[in-house]
Chains A and B, each alone.
Chain A
């Protein structure tokens, strides 16, 4: 009995240490977002800021942060919508008809693994040619490279799990294949499609390298804006902390809500989680 208690105690000790290690840096940034500049530079470090107010949030959002927040929202939403529009029918087709066999399915998967640095230079050269650099379209298009394959693979998994009987019955009743898809399969797969949309949104939201290559001053997403703030001359740590919190809060909320699917999404569906 006492051995059992000791074992449970040890388990919880390890978990507590792990959670502290993996969460304290995030908490530290949250606290930094409320600190005055003097508190940030104080030694020994100040844990609790003297005042909890949101002045860094309002100042950074009125400055470069507000623009970046808007750009990130526009790019991530438009890219997600487009990725779903293109990817969901493909997911259905591959799931139901095995179109293209395994080769097509795995070709799509392999593009998801494409190194961004290898596509950054080609896309940069191409967008320069078509004068798309530094526009919303540059990122909305570029992010399709990873989000279309992601949506196809992720949503295909959900279609695979749906029974075919209802669609078959509809076909027998004279519905077209398109009706069977939009009227039945699509409706039943809504939870999977919504989850894939949220994850695709996060992937666009977090992306940095392609944004750095393909945009400059007109369009500046949150990660690029953050990197610029860190590289600036008089670094305002409070504002950086605030903008970092703005960038991670939606993602953290989604991580907590979608935990069952996150790993499946990140592991290319290799794990059902």
Chain B
């Protein structure tokens, strides 16, 4: 393709401008022209300035103890902040545990329900576009708005949810005030917002599957469940993995709904890693320590993100 184009323009326009053209479509070339580098320069500078530089700056801070409330003058403590996080802090690891609980259960529930919804969604005819658009409403609105819906709907004295449950004879729990329930209420809010996202992605993936193979398999007498297990799932596997990784990273970052719905409580029942980092930083003003535990979380997310990027690289070539 590229070679024919090169020859074509080369003979038509002589040497000067044609040489430029010859360099333009170069999908496998290694040296891009200066012009191309100048165009990416602003992005590289901005991203270095807003992510890498702050990270280096805070890496330095994480070796200091800075507590604006007690000792405003930072003093060097080496790796002590990290050692503290791993050994002395009774709140950090339970918080990490809650984050992983949300990730594990949230991803599983959203994937299963999303898959089921996707299968139903694809059975619709023309109405699918409208239904899809409506399902995007929860996905697009601000998590803080979702949290406010949660506070109103979960309210146990005047909220509509427990009223509805009472109508069918179920005594609803204290959704946000009960230690054993609150974390699951956060999970419910996340599932409400993101299950449609999973459903729409999977539905789009399902529509790309080759129909002929299905027909052939059906002729061979394969049952529905057998088709699903031996064809649909393996064919969709790359998409499912990408979806799982995206959701896992996002749920690990959950903060807004917790801040508004429970404030980490009752007690510390909904205190996740990201919420605990906020407490250390903006409530206790232990910036050095907050920087250290952000680094620990960054490493966790980087591992997941690397898996995701590697998977997408494979997919996109």
* A interface residue numbers (CB < 8 A to B): 8, 11, 14-15, 18-19, 21-23, 25-26, 28-29, 32, 40-45, 85-87, 89-90, 92-94, 96-102, 104, 106, 108-111, 113-126, 141-142, 144-145, 148-149, 152, 164, 167-168, 171-174, 177-178, 181, 202, 205-206, 208-209, 212-213, 222-223, 226-227, 230-231, 237, 240-241, 244, 247-248, 251-252, 254-256, 259, 262-263, 266-268, 270-273
Residues in A neighbouring B55, C-beta threshold 8 A = 118-119, 122
B256 interface neighbour in A18, A223, A271, Cβ under 8 Å = A223
Residues in B neighbouring A14, C-beta threshold 8 A = 117, 120
Residues in B neighbouring A241, C-beta threshold 8 A = 152
B282 interface neighbour in A8, A213, A230, Cβ under 8 Å = A213
B36 and A97 contact, CB distance less than 8 A: yes
B21 interface neighbour in A18, A98, A168, Cβ under 8 Å = A168
> Which 4 A-B pairs rank lowest in CB-CB distance, beginning with the nearest?
A122-B54, A122-B58, A93-B39, A97-B36
Inter-chain contact total with CB atoms closer than 8 Å: 321
Residues in A neighbouring B144, C-beta threshold 8 A = 206, 208, 222-223, 226-227, 247
Q: In the bound complex, how far is the Cα of B33 from the Cα of A62, in angstroms?
A: 55
How many of chain B's residues have a CB under 8 angstroms from any CB in A? 107
B149 interface neighbour in A29, A123, A267, Cβ under 8 Å = A29
Residues in A neighbouring B290, C-beta threshold 8 A = 121
B143 interface neighbour in A121, A124, A206, Cβ under 8 Å = A206
A117 interface neighbour in B132, B197, B274, Cβ under 8 Å = B274
Residues in A neighbouring B221, C-beta threshold 8 A = none
Closest-CB distance, A101 to chain B (whole angstroms): 7
Starting from the known contacts A18-B135, A108-B47, A122-B58, 4 additional A-B residue pairs (CB-CB under 8 Å) come to: A22-B137, A26-B137, A45-B159, A256-B134
B298 and A118 contact, CB distance less than 8 A: yes
A208 and B149 contact, CB distance less than 8 A: no
Closest-CB distance, A34 to chain B (whole angstroms): 14
A-facing residues in B24-66 (Cβ within 8 Å): 24-27, 29-30, 32-33, 35-37, 39-40, 42-44, 46-47, 50-51, 53-55, 57-58, 61
Return the chain A residue nearest B201 by Cβ.
A271
B24 and A96 contact, CB distance less than 8 A: yes
Q: Does B133 contact A (CB under 8 A)?
A: yes
Residues in B neighbouring A120, C-beta threshold 8 A = 277-278, 281, 294
Q: In the bound complex, how far is the Cα of B136 from the Cα of A254, in angstroms?
A: 10
Q: In the bound complex, how far is the Cα of B131 from the Cα of A259, in angstroms?
A: 10
B152 and A32 contact, CB distance less than 8 A: yes
A-facing residues in B92-147 (Cβ within 8 Å): 117, 120-121, 123-124, 129, 131-145, 147
15 contacts between A and B (CB under 8 A): A45-B158, A86-B46, A89-B40, A90-B42, A93-B32, A93-B36, A104-B40, A106-B313, A115-B301, A125-B58, A171-B24, A177-B33, A237-B152, A256-B134, A270-B312
Return the chain A residue nearest B257 by Cβ.
A208
From B9-17, B179-187, B211-219, B227-235, the one touching the partner chain is B9-17
Q: In the bound complex, how far is the Cα of B273 from the Cα of A90, in angstroms?
A: 35
B37 and A99 contact, CB distance less than 8 A: yes
Closest-CB distance, B205 to chain A (whole angstroms): 7
Q: Does B163 contact A (CB under 8 A)?
A: yes
